[in-house]
Structure 1
Amino acid sequence: MPYPIAYQLYSSRNFPPLASQLPILKSMGYDAIEPWLPAYQADPDLFRRQLDDAGLGCLGFHMPLAGLVSEPNRFIDIALTLGARVMIPPYVGPQERQGTPDYWQSLGDKLGRGAEAAAPHGLKVAWHNHDFEYLPLPDGSRPIDHILQASGPDVWFEIDCGWITRAGADPAAELARYADRIIAIQTKDTAPRGTAFDDGWTATGDGIIDWPALAPLFHQTRATHLVTEHDNPSDWQRFARRSIDSLKALGL
Protein backbone atom coordinates (compact mmCIF):
# COMPACT_ATOMS: atom_id res chain seq x y z
CA MET A 1 0.00 0.00 0.00
CA PRO A 2 1.47 3.41 -0.92
CA TYR A 3 2.74 5.68 1.82
CA PRO A 4 1.10 9.03 2.52
CA ILE A 5 3.43 11.65 1.04
CA ALA A 6 4.02 14.99 2.73
CA TYR A 7 5.77 18.09 1.44
CA GLN A 8 8.17 19.98 3.70
CA LEU A 9 6.95 23.54 3.40
CA TYR A 10 10.42 24.91 4.16
CA SER A 11 11.22 23.98 0.56
CA SER A 12 9.13 26.86 -0.81
CA ARG A 13 9.62 29.43 1.95
CA ASN A 14 11.07 31.85 -0.63
CA PHE A 15 7.88 31.82 -2.71
CA PRO A 16 5.14 33.34 -0.52
CA PRO A 17 2.31 33.31 0.25
CA LEU A 18 2.45 29.80 1.63
CA ALA A 19 -1.33 29.46 1.74
CA SER A 20 -1.56 29.73 -2.04
CA GLN A 21 0.83 26.79 -2.39
CA LEU A 22 -1.44 24.38 -0.54
CA PRO A 23 -4.08 23.71 -3.24
CA ILE A 24 -1.29 23.37 -5.81
CA LEU A 25 0.36 20.68 -3.69
CA LYS A 26 -2.95 18.90 -3.29
CA SER A 27 -3.44 18.91 -7.06
CA MET A 28 -0.03 17.26 -7.48
CA GLY A 29 -1.13 14.38 -5.27
CA TYR A 30 0.34 15.30 -1.91
CA ASP A 31 -1.54 14.07 1.13
CA ALA A 32 -0.03 16.37 3.73
CA ILE A 33 2.49 19.06 4.44
CA GLU A 34 5.25 19.17 7.03
CA PRO A 35 5.53 22.77 8.23
CA TRP A 36 8.45 24.42 9.93
CA LEU A 37 8.55 27.33 12.33
CA PRO A 38 7.54 30.14 11.61
CA ALA A 39 4.96 28.90 9.05
CA TYR A 40 2.40 28.08 11.74
CA GLN A 41 3.59 30.44 14.48
CA ALA A 42 1.43 33.53 13.94
CA ASP A 43 -1.92 31.74 13.99
CA PRO A 44 -2.00 27.93 14.27
CA ASP A 45 -5.80 27.90 14.04
CA LEU A 46 -5.74 29.82 10.76
CA PHE A 47 -3.00 27.57 9.43
CA ARG A 48 -5.12 24.50 10.25
CA ARG A 49 -8.12 26.01 8.46
CA GLN A 50 -5.97 26.65 5.39
CA LEU A 51 -4.85 23.02 5.43
CA ASP A 52 -8.41 21.81 5.80
CA ASP A 53 -9.59 24.05 2.97
CA ALA A 54 -6.91 22.58 0.71
CA GLY A 55 -7.70 19.00 1.75
CA LEU A 56 -4.24 18.45 3.21
CA GLY A 57 -3.19 16.93 6.51
CA CYS A 58 -0.27 17.59 8.82
CA LEU A 59 1.42 14.38 9.90
CA GLY A 60 4.36 15.97 11.68
CA PHE A 61 5.93 19.39 12.05
CA HIS A 62 9.38 20.82 12.68
CA MET A 63 9.93 22.82 15.83
CA PRO A 64 12.87 24.14 17.86
CA LEU A 65 14.59 21.82 20.31
CA ALA A 66 14.51 24.72 22.76
CA GLY A 67 10.73 24.78 22.43
CA LEU A 68 10.50 21.11 23.36
CA VAL A 69 12.67 21.75 26.40
CA SER A 70 11.31 25.11 27.61
CA GLU A 71 7.80 25.33 26.16
CA PRO A 72 6.57 21.77 25.70
CA ASN A 73 2.95 22.61 26.47
CA ARG A 74 2.89 25.38 23.87
CA PHE A 75 4.10 23.06 21.13
CA ILE A 76 1.87 20.23 22.29
CA ASP A 77 -1.07 22.59 21.87
CA ILE A 78 0.18 23.52 18.38
CA ALA A 79 0.49 19.85 17.46
CA LEU A 80 -3.07 19.17 18.57
CA THR A 81 -4.33 22.23 16.69
CA LEU A 82 -2.59 21.18 13.47
CA GLY A 83 -3.66 17.58 13.83
CA ALA A 84 -0.03 16.47 13.77
CA ARG A 85 1.08 13.22 15.37
CA VAL A 86 4.83 13.83 15.46
CA MET A 87 6.80 16.75 16.95
CA ILE A 88 10.18 16.98 15.23
CA PRO A 89 13.14 19.04 16.44
CA PRO A 90 15.45 19.13 13.39
CA TYR A 91 18.59 21.05 14.26
CA VAL A 92 21.13 22.50 16.62
CA GLY A 93 23.29 25.35 15.38
CA PRO A 94 27.08 25.14 14.95
CA GLN A 95 27.61 27.43 17.93
CA GLU A 96 25.82 24.93 20.18
CA ARG A 97 27.48 21.72 19.02
CA GLN A 98 30.26 20.15 21.01
CA GLY A 99 32.60 17.36 20.02
CA THR A 100 31.97 15.16 23.01
CA PRO A 101 29.69 12.15 23.49
CA ASP A 102 28.31 13.78 26.64
CA TYR A 103 26.91 16.71 24.69
CA TRP A 104 25.06 14.51 22.20
CA GLN A 105 23.83 12.23 24.96
CA SER A 106 22.45 15.27 26.77
CA LEU A 107 20.60 16.21 23.57
CA GLY A 108 19.11 12.73 23.54
CA ASP A 109 18.06 13.15 27.17
CA LYS A 110 16.19 16.34 26.25
CA LEU A 111 14.34 14.55 23.48
CA GLY A 112 13.43 11.76 25.88
CA ARG A 113 11.96 14.19 28.39
CA GLY A 114 10.00 15.85 25.60
CA ALA A 115 8.63 12.47 24.52
CA GLU A 116 7.45 11.82 28.08
CA ALA A 117 5.55 15.13 28.09
CA ALA A 118 4.02 14.47 24.66
CA ALA A 119 2.93 10.86 25.19
CA PRO A 120 -0.16 11.52 27.36
CA HIS A 121 -1.53 13.61 24.48
CA GLY A 122 -1.08 10.82 21.95
CA LEU A 123 1.92 12.56 20.40
CA LYS A 124 5.38 11.33 19.50
CA VAL A 125 8.75 13.09 19.33
CA ALA A 126 11.28 12.40 16.59
CA TRP A 127 14.73 13.73 15.74
CA HIS A 128 15.51 14.86 12.20
CA ASN A 129 19.11 14.57 11.02
CA HIS A 130 21.40 16.77 8.97
CA ASP A 131 24.97 15.87 8.02
CA PHE A 132 26.72 16.77 11.28
CA GLU A 133 25.25 13.83 13.20
CA TYR A 134 27.15 11.49 10.88
CA LEU A 135 30.56 13.16 11.17
CA PRO A 136 32.74 11.20 13.60
CA LEU A 137 33.69 12.77 16.92
CA PRO A 138 37.34 12.78 18.00
CA ASP A 139 36.83 9.38 19.66
CA GLY A 140 35.41 7.94 16.43
CA SER A 141 31.82 7.65 17.64
CA ARG A 142 28.90 9.34 15.88
CA PRO A 143 26.50 11.93 17.29
CA ILE A 144 23.44 10.19 15.79
CA ASP A 145 24.16 7.03 17.76
CA HIS A 146 24.58 8.94 21.01
CA ILE A 147 21.37 10.90 20.41
CA LEU A 148 19.17 7.90 19.71
CA GLN A 149 20.70 5.70 22.39
CA ALA A 150 20.40 8.31 25.13
CA SER A 151 16.90 9.40 24.12
CA GLY A 152 15.42 5.98 24.73
CA PRO A 153 13.12 3.92 22.50
CA ASP A 154 10.18 6.32 22.82
CA VAL A 155 11.98 8.89 20.67
CA TRP A 156 11.62 8.28 16.96
CA PHE A 157 13.72 9.22 13.93
CA GLU A 158 12.84 11.16 10.79
CA ILE A 159 15.69 10.05 8.56
CA ASP A 160 16.93 12.44 5.85
CA CYS A 161 18.60 10.39 3.14
CA GLY A 162 20.05 13.42 1.36
CA TRP A 163 21.98 14.75 4.33
CA ILE A 164 23.25 11.26 5.16
CA THR A 165 24.59 10.97 1.62
CA ARG A 166 26.27 14.36 1.84
CA ALA A 167 27.95 13.29 5.06
CA GLY A 168 29.52 10.37 3.20
CA ALA A 169 27.41 7.77 5.00
CA ASP A 170 25.20 5.11 3.42
CA PRO A 171 21.44 5.70 3.66
CA ALA A 172 20.76 2.00 3.06
CA ALA A 173 22.86 1.07 6.08
CA GLU A 174 21.17 3.71 8.23
CA LEU A 175 17.68 2.63 7.16
CA ALA A 176 18.58 -0.88 8.30
CA ARG A 177 20.38 0.21 11.46
CA TYR A 178 17.47 2.26 12.79
CA ALA A 179 14.59 0.45 11.11
CA ASP A 180 12.67 0.10 14.37
CA ARG A 181 13.06 3.80 15.22
CA ILE A 182 12.23 5.38 11.85
CA ILE A 183 8.79 7.02 11.76
CA ALA A 184 9.24 9.15 8.62
CA ILE A 185 11.61 9.11 5.65
CA GLN A 186 12.70 12.31 3.95
CA THR A 187 13.48 11.48 0.35
CA LYS A 188 15.82 14.41 -0.16
CA ASP A 189 18.15 13.95 -3.13
CA THR A 190 21.49 15.56 -3.89
CA ALA A 191 23.43 16.31 -7.05
CA PRO A 192 27.07 15.25 -7.50
CA ARG A 193 29.52 16.95 -5.15
CA GLY A 194 30.59 20.34 -6.44
CA THR A 195 27.26 21.16 -8.11
CA ALA A 196 26.40 24.80 -7.44
CA PHE A 197 22.93 24.99 -9.02
CA ASP A 198 20.20 25.03 -6.35
CA ASP A 199 22.92 24.58 -3.73
CA GLY A 200 23.49 21.09 -5.07
CA TRP A 201 20.05 19.73 -4.13
CA THR A 202 17.70 18.14 -6.66
CA ALA A 203 14.22 16.72 -6.93
CA THR A 204 13.87 13.14 -5.71
CA GLY A 205 15.07 10.89 -8.50
CA ASP A 206 17.16 13.54 -10.26
CA GLY A 207 20.25 13.18 -8.09
CA ILE A 208 22.82 10.56 -7.18
CA ILE A 209 20.81 8.52 -4.66
CA ASP A 210 19.71 5.09 -5.88
CA TRP A 211 16.04 5.23 -4.89
CA PRO A 212 15.05 1.96 -6.62
CA ALA A 213 17.57 0.23 -4.34
CA LEU A 214 16.43 2.08 -1.22
CA ALA A 215 12.67 1.84 -1.75
CA PRO A 216 12.35 -1.83 -0.67
CA LEU A 217 14.12 -0.94 2.59
CA PHE A 218 11.45 1.61 3.47
CA HIS A 219 8.97 -1.18 4.14
CA GLN A 220 11.37 -2.80 6.60
CA THR A 221 11.20 0.30 8.80
CA ARG A 222 8.30 1.54 10.92
CA ALA A 223 7.85 4.63 8.76
CA THR A 224 4.29 5.87 8.51
CA HIS A 225 4.90 8.39 5.72
CA LEU A 226 7.41 9.95 3.32
CA VAL A 227 8.42 13.60 3.06
CA THR A 228 9.87 15.46 0.09
CA GLU A 229 12.23 18.37 0.72
CA HIS A 230 14.66 20.62 -1.14
CA ASP A 231 16.58 23.28 0.78
CA ASN A 232 16.72 25.90 -1.96
CA PRO A 233 14.86 25.15 -5.21
CA SER A 234 14.80 27.79 -7.92
CA ASP A 235 11.47 26.33 -9.09
CA TRP A 236 9.55 24.88 -6.17
CA GLN A 237 6.69 23.53 -8.26
CA ARG A 238 9.01 21.63 -10.56
CA PHE A 239 10.77 20.15 -7.54
CA ALA A 240 7.50 19.22 -5.82
CA ARG A 241 5.98 17.63 -8.90
CA ARG A 242 9.05 15.69 -10.04
CA SER A 243 9.62 14.38 -6.52
CA ILE A 244 6.15 13.01 -5.95
CA ASP A 245 6.04 11.59 -9.47
CA SER A 246 9.32 9.76 -8.83
CA LEU A 247 8.03 8.28 -5.59
CA LYS A 248 4.78 7.14 -7.15
CA ALA A 249 6.66 5.60 -10.08
CA LEU A 250 8.49 3.47 -7.50
CA GLY A 251 5.17 2.30 -6.08
CA LEU A 252 5.65 4.32 -2.93
Structure 2
Amino acid sequence: MTRPISVQLYTVREPLAADRDTVLRRIAEIGYRAVEPFDPMADPKGFREVADGLGLSVSGTHAYALLDREPAEVFDAIATIGTDKVILPAGIAHEEFTTRDGLQRAADLLNGLSEQAARHGMRIGYHNHWWELEPRVEGRHAIEVLADLLAPEVFLEIDTYWAAVGGADVPALLGRLSDRIEALHVKDGPGVKGEPHTAVGTGVMPVPEILAAAPGAWRVVELDECATDIFTALADSHAYLTSLESS
Protein backbone atom coordinates (compact mmCIF):
# COMPACT_ATOMS: atom_id res chain seq x y z
CA MET A 1 0.00 0.00 0.00
CA THR A 2 1.66 3.21 -1.16
CA ARG A 3 -1.14 5.71 -0.74
CA PRO A 4 -1.33 7.42 2.65
CA ILE A 5 -4.26 6.67 4.94
CA SER A 6 -6.94 9.33 4.58
CA VAL A 7 -9.75 10.49 6.85
CA GLN A 8 -13.20 11.70 5.82
CA LEU A 9 -13.63 15.05 7.50
CA TYR A 10 -17.32 14.43 8.17
CA THR A 11 -15.95 12.38 11.08
CA VAL A 12 -14.87 15.61 12.78
CA ARG A 13 -17.58 17.89 11.39
CA GLU A 14 -18.46 19.56 14.70
CA PRO A 15 -14.95 20.49 15.88
CA LEU A 16 -14.06 21.30 12.25
CA ALA A 17 -16.84 23.90 12.11
CA ALA A 18 -15.54 25.48 15.30
CA ASP A 19 -11.82 25.53 14.45
CA ARG A 20 -10.82 24.05 11.10
CA ASP A 21 -7.11 24.78 11.33
CA THR A 22 -6.66 23.18 14.74
CA VAL A 23 -8.58 20.08 13.68
CA LEU A 24 -6.50 19.64 10.54
CA ARG A 25 -3.35 20.03 12.62
CA ARG A 26 -4.51 17.37 15.08
CA ILE A 27 -5.25 15.00 12.20
CA ALA A 28 -1.76 15.55 10.82
CA GLU A 29 -0.21 15.07 14.26
CA ILE A 30 -1.95 11.68 14.56
CA GLY A 31 -0.12 10.64 11.41
CA TYR A 32 -2.70 10.99 8.65
CA ARG A 33 -1.23 12.33 5.45
CA ALA A 34 -4.44 12.75 3.48
CA VAL A 35 -7.99 13.98 4.03
CA GLU A 36 -11.29 13.72 2.21
CA PRO A 37 -13.41 16.88 2.60
CA PHE A 38 -17.21 16.73 2.52
CA ASP A 39 -17.87 20.35 1.57
CA PRO A 40 -15.42 21.69 -1.03
CA MET A 41 -17.31 25.01 -1.12
CA ALA A 42 -16.21 25.98 2.39
CA ASP A 43 -13.25 28.35 1.85
CA PRO A 44 -11.39 26.17 -0.67
CA LYS A 45 -8.40 28.51 -0.94
CA GLY A 46 -7.95 28.74 2.83
CA PHE A 47 -8.38 24.99 3.20
CA ARG A 48 -5.73 24.31 0.56
CA GLU A 49 -3.25 26.65 2.22
CA VAL A 50 -3.65 25.00 5.62
CA ALA A 51 -3.57 21.47 4.20
CA ASP A 52 -0.44 22.23 2.19
CA GLY A 53 1.25 23.65 5.25
CA LEU A 54 0.52 20.46 7.18
CA GLY A 55 1.60 18.13 4.39
CA LEU A 56 -1.94 16.82 3.88
CA SER A 57 -2.95 15.72 0.39
CA VAL A 58 -6.58 15.43 -0.67
CA SER A 59 -7.55 11.87 -1.59
CA GLY A 60 -10.86 13.00 -3.04
CA THR A 61 -13.84 15.04 -1.97
CA HIS A 62 -17.51 14.45 -1.45
CA ALA A 63 -19.52 16.96 -3.41
CA TYR A 64 -23.22 16.88 -2.58
CA ALA A 65 -23.16 20.49 -3.76
CA LEU A 66 -23.22 19.22 -7.36
CA LEU A 67 -26.93 18.56 -6.90
CA ASP A 68 -27.91 22.08 -5.86
CA ARG A 69 -25.16 24.44 -7.03
CA GLU A 70 -23.85 25.47 -10.42
CA PRO A 71 -21.56 22.55 -11.37
CA ALA A 72 -18.81 24.76 -12.81
CA GLU A 73 -18.61 26.64 -9.51
CA VAL A 74 -18.29 23.37 -7.62
CA PHE A 75 -15.62 21.99 -9.94
CA ASP A 76 -13.62 25.22 -9.62
CA ALA A 77 -13.66 24.88 -5.82
CA ILE A 78 -12.59 21.26 -6.07
CA ALA A 79 -9.69 22.22 -8.33
CA THR A 80 -8.62 24.71 -5.69
CA ILE A 81 -8.61 22.18 -2.84
CA GLY A 82 -6.48 19.91 -4.99
CA THR A 83 -8.12 16.71 -6.21
CA ASP A 84 -9.63 15.29 -9.37
CA LYS A 85 -11.83 12.69 -7.60
CA VAL A 86 -15.35 14.01 -7.05
CA ILE A 87 -17.67 11.73 -5.10
CA LEU A 88 -21.45 11.93 -4.80
CA PRO A 89 -22.25 10.56 -1.33
CA ALA A 90 -26.06 10.62 -1.48
CA GLY A 91 -28.88 12.58 -3.07
CA ILE A 92 -30.46 9.81 -5.14
CA ALA A 93 -33.79 8.61 -3.77
CA HIS A 94 -33.58 5.27 -1.98
CA GLU A 95 -36.41 3.93 -4.13
CA GLU A 96 -34.30 4.27 -7.26
CA PHE A 97 -32.18 1.37 -6.03
CA THR A 98 -35.10 -1.05 -5.97
CA THR A 99 -35.72 -1.46 -9.72
CA ARG A 100 -33.63 -1.62 -12.87
CA ASP A 101 -35.41 1.45 -14.27
CA GLY A 102 -34.51 3.38 -11.12
CA LEU A 103 -30.92 2.24 -11.36
CA GLN A 104 -30.83 3.38 -14.97
CA ARG A 105 -31.99 6.85 -13.89
CA ALA A 106 -29.31 6.91 -11.18
CA ALA A 107 -26.69 5.89 -13.72
CA ASP A 108 -27.89 8.55 -16.16
CA LEU A 109 -27.44 11.20 -13.45
CA LEU A 110 -23.93 10.02 -12.57
CA ASN A 111 -22.92 9.63 -16.22
CA GLY A 112 -24.14 13.13 -16.98
CA LEU A 113 -22.14 14.55 -14.07
CA SER A 114 -19.16 12.56 -15.30
CA GLU A 115 -19.32 14.27 -18.69
CA GLN A 116 -19.31 17.65 -16.98
CA ALA A 117 -16.47 16.64 -14.67
CA ALA A 118 -14.35 15.49 -17.60
CA ARG A 119 -14.41 19.01 -19.02
CA HIS A 120 -12.65 20.09 -15.82
CA GLY A 121 -10.15 17.22 -15.84
CA MET A 122 -12.01 15.40 -13.07
CA ARG A 123 -13.81 12.11 -12.51
CA ILE A 124 -17.07 11.31 -10.74
CA GLY A 125 -17.47 8.57 -8.15
CA TYR A 126 -20.37 7.26 -6.11
CA HIS A 127 -20.37 6.40 -2.39
CA ASN A 128 -22.85 3.89 -1.01
CA HIS A 129 -24.82 3.50 2.17
CA TRP A 130 -26.92 0.45 3.08
CA TRP A 131 -29.82 1.24 0.78
CA GLU A 132 -27.83 0.42 -2.36
CA LEU A 133 -27.04 -3.04 -0.95
CA GLU A 134 -30.25 -4.20 0.72
CA PRO A 135 -32.36 -4.32 -2.48
CA ARG A 136 -31.72 -7.22 -4.79
CA VAL A 137 -32.18 -6.48 -8.47
CA GLU A 138 -31.84 -9.34 -10.93
CA GLY A 139 -30.45 -11.45 -8.11
CA ARG A 140 -27.61 -9.09 -7.23
CA HIS A 141 -27.05 -6.22 -4.82
CA ALA A 142 -28.45 -3.10 -6.48
CA ILE A 143 -25.07 -1.38 -6.53
CA GLU A 144 -23.67 -4.19 -8.67
CA VAL A 145 -26.35 -3.60 -11.31
CA LEU A 146 -25.69 0.13 -11.08
CA ALA A 147 -22.00 -0.48 -11.73
CA ASP A 148 -22.87 -2.22 -15.00
CA LEU A 149 -24.84 0.85 -16.12
CA LEU A 150 -22.16 3.42 -15.32
CA ALA A 151 -19.83 4.90 -17.90
CA PRO A 152 -16.35 3.34 -17.67
CA GLU A 153 -14.79 6.45 -16.14
CA VAL A 154 -17.22 6.57 -13.18
CA PHE A 155 -15.70 4.92 -10.11
CA LEU A 156 -17.01 3.65 -6.79
CA GLU A 157 -16.03 4.51 -3.25
CA ILE A 158 -17.34 1.54 -1.29
CA ASP A 159 -18.33 2.24 2.29
CA THR A 160 -17.41 -1.15 3.66
CA TYR A 161 -19.37 -0.82 6.90
CA TRP A 162 -22.64 0.19 5.28
CA ALA A 163 -22.14 -2.51 2.66
CA ALA A 164 -22.00 -5.06 5.49
CA VAL A 165 -25.05 -3.55 7.19
CA GLY A 166 -26.82 -3.82 3.84
CA GLY A 167 -26.21 -7.56 3.81
CA ALA A 168 -23.11 -7.92 1.65
CA ASP A 169 -20.19 -10.26 2.08
CA VAL A 170 -17.87 -7.29 1.78
CA PRO A 171 -14.62 -8.96 0.63
CA ALA A 172 -16.59 -10.90 -2.01
CA LEU A 173 -18.39 -7.73 -3.13
CA LEU A 174 -15.10 -5.90 -3.47
CA GLY A 175 -13.74 -8.74 -5.55
CA ARG A 176 -16.68 -8.54 -7.94
CA LEU A 177 -16.43 -4.75 -8.25
CA SER A 178 -12.64 -4.54 -8.22
CA ASP A 179 -12.31 -2.80 -11.58
CA ARG A 180 -14.61 0.00 -10.38
CA ILE A 181 -13.27 0.70 -6.90
CA GLU A 182 -10.83 3.53 -6.25
CA ALA A 183 -11.51 4.19 -2.57
CA LEU A 184 -12.87 2.46 0.52
CA HIS A 185 -14.49 3.98 3.55
CA VAL A 186 -13.01 1.95 6.38
CA LYS A 187 -15.00 2.02 9.58
CA ASP A 188 -15.94 -0.35 12.36
CA GLY A 189 -18.55 -0.92 15.01
CA PRO A 190 -21.35 -3.33 15.93
CA GLY A 191 -22.55 -3.69 12.35
CA VAL A 192 -26.13 -2.52 12.90
CA LYS A 193 -28.04 0.63 12.08
CA GLY A 194 -28.47 3.24 14.77
CA GLU A 195 -25.47 2.27 16.89
CA PRO A 196 -22.33 4.42 17.12
CA HIS A 197 -19.14 3.41 15.40
CA THR A 198 -15.88 2.48 17.08
CA ALA A 199 -12.21 2.74 16.19
CA VAL A 200 -11.23 0.60 13.23
CA GLY A 201 -10.13 -2.80 14.49
CA THR A 202 -12.37 -2.82 17.57
CA GLY A 203 -15.70 -3.85 16.03
CA VAL A 204 -17.11 -6.70 13.99
CA MET A 205 -15.70 -5.80 10.58
CA PRO A 206 -13.17 -8.21 8.99
CA VAL A 207 -10.82 -5.37 8.19
CA PRO A 208 -7.75 -7.37 7.04
CA GLU A 209 -9.84 -9.37 4.58
CA ILE A 210 -11.55 -6.23 3.32
CA LEU A 211 -8.28 -4.42 2.66
CA ALA A 212 -6.80 -7.48 0.97
CA ALA A 213 -9.76 -7.55 -1.44
CA ALA A 214 -9.03 -4.01 -2.71
CA PRO A 215 -5.28 -3.54 -2.30
CA GLY A 216 -4.97 -0.52 -4.57
CA ALA A 217 -7.85 1.54 -3.16
CA TRP A 218 -7.48 4.61 -0.97
CA ARG A 219 -8.18 3.75 2.68
CA VAL A 220 -10.40 6.50 4.05
CA VAL A 221 -11.29 6.27 7.74
CA GLU A 222 -14.78 7.52 8.56
CA LEU A 223 -16.74 7.27 11.80
CA ASP A 224 -20.20 8.77 11.29
CA GLU A 225 -21.00 8.74 14.99
CA CYS A 226 -18.48 7.52 17.54
CA ALA A 227 -18.89 5.81 20.90
CA THR A 228 -15.64 7.33 22.25
CA ASP A 229 -13.59 10.50 21.93
CA ILE A 230 -13.32 11.06 18.20
CA PHE A 231 -9.65 11.99 18.08
CA THR A 232 -8.71 8.99 20.21
CA ALA A 233 -10.71 6.79 17.85
CA LEU A 234 -8.97 8.32 14.84
CA ALA A 235 -5.57 7.75 16.43
CA ASP A 236 -6.42 4.15 17.31
CA SER A 237 -7.75 3.56 13.78
CA HIS A 238 -4.57 4.95 12.24
CA ALA A 239 -2.38 2.84 14.51
CA TYR A 240 -4.34 -0.31 13.66
CA LEU A 241 -4.29 0.27 9.90
CA THR A 242 -0.60 1.12 10.01
CA SER A 243 0.11 -2.10 11.90
CA LEU A 244 -1.69 -4.09 9.20
CA GLU A 245 0.41 -2.48 6.49
CA SER A 246 3.65 -3.29 8.30
CA SER A 247 2.75 -6.87 9.24
TM over 0.5: yes
1:212–1:137 distance in 2 versus 1, CA, 3 Å: closer
Alignment of structure 1 residues 75-154 onto 2, 5 Å: 75-92=74-91, 97=96, 99-137=98-136, 140-154=139-153
1:32 aligned partner, one-letter code:
A
| Cα separation, 2, equivalents of 1:136 and 1:151 | 18
Task: Using the TM superposition, give the Cα deviation of residue 20 of structure 1 relative to its aligned residue in structure 2, in angstroms.
Answer: 1.1
1:182–1:23 distance in 2 versus 1, CA, 3 Å: same
Deviations 1:5-51 (A, max 9, x none): 111010011223232111111111111111112xx423211121121
2:231 aligned partner, one-letter code:
Q
| Cα separation, 1, equivalents of 2:185 and 2:93 | 22
Task: Using the TM superposition, give the Cα deviation of residue 119 of structure 1 relative to its aligned residue in structure 2, in angstroms.
Answer: 2.1
Task: Using the TM superposition, give the Cα deviation of residue 87 of structure 1 relative to its aligned residue in structure 2, in angstroms.
Answer: 0.1
Alignment of structure 1 residues 120-199 onto 2, 5 Å: 120-137=119-136, 140-193=139-192, 199=195
Structure 1's unaligned 5+ residue stretches are none
DSSP 3-state at the match of 2:98: coil
DSSP 3-state at the match of 1:200: coil
| Cα separation, 2, equivalents of 1:67 and 1:249 | 37
| Cα separation, 2, equivalents of 1:92 and 1:189 | 24
> What is the aligned residue count?
243
Identity rate, percent: 33
- The residue number in structure 1 matching 2:231 is 237
Asked whether the equivalents of residues 162 and 189 of structure 1 are also in contact (C-alpha less than 8 Å), the reply is yes
1:99–1:4 distance in 2 versus 1, CA, 3 Å: same
1:33 corresponds to 2:32? no
1:179–1:99 distance in 2 versus 1, CA, 3 Å: closer
Asked whether the equivalents of residues 88 and 127 of structure 1 are also in contact (C-alpha less than 8 Å), the reply is yes
- The residue number in structure 2 matching 1:59 is 59
Alignment match of 2:219 (pick from 215, 226, 247):
226
Structure 2 length-normalised TM: 0.89
| Cα separation, 2, equivalents of 1:98 and 1:136 | 7
Task: Using the TM superposition, give the Cα deviation of residue 92 of structure 1 relative to its aligned residue in structure 2, in angstroms.
Answer: 2.6
1:232–1:77 distance in 2 versus 1, CA, 3 Å: same
- The residue number in structure 2 matching 1:19 is 21
1:240 aligned partner, one-letter code:
L
| Cα separation, 2, equivalents of 1:13 and 1:35 | 10
Asked whether the equivalents of residues 188 and 228 of structure 1 are also in contact (C-alpha less than 8 Å), the reply is yes
1:52–1:144 distance in 2 versus 1, CA, 3 Å: same
Deviations 1:150-198 (A, max 9, x none): 222110000111101111211101110110110111111122548x7xx
| Cα separation, 2, equivalents of 1:204 and 1:13 | 19
Pairwise CA RMSD: 2.3
Q: Which runs of structure 1 show a deviation greater than 4 angstroms over 4 or more consecutive aligned residues?
A: 93-98, 137-141
| Cα separation, 2, equivalents of 1:116 and 1:68 | 15
- The residue number in structure 2 matching 1:202 is 198
DSSP 3-state at the match of 1:202: coil
- The residue number in structure 1 matching 2:211 is 215
Asked whether the equivalents of residues 166 and 190 of structure 1 are also in contact (C-alpha less than 8 Å), the reply is no
1:169–1:231 distance in 2 versus 1, CA, 3 Å: same
| Cα separation, 2, equivalents of 1:155 and 1:94 | 19
Structure 1 length-normalised TM: 0.87
Task: Using the TM superposition, give the Cα deviation of residue 2 of structure 1 relative to its aligned residue in structure 2, in angstroms.
Answer: 3.5
1:212 aligned partner, one-letter code:
P
- The residue number in structure 1 matching 2:47 is 47
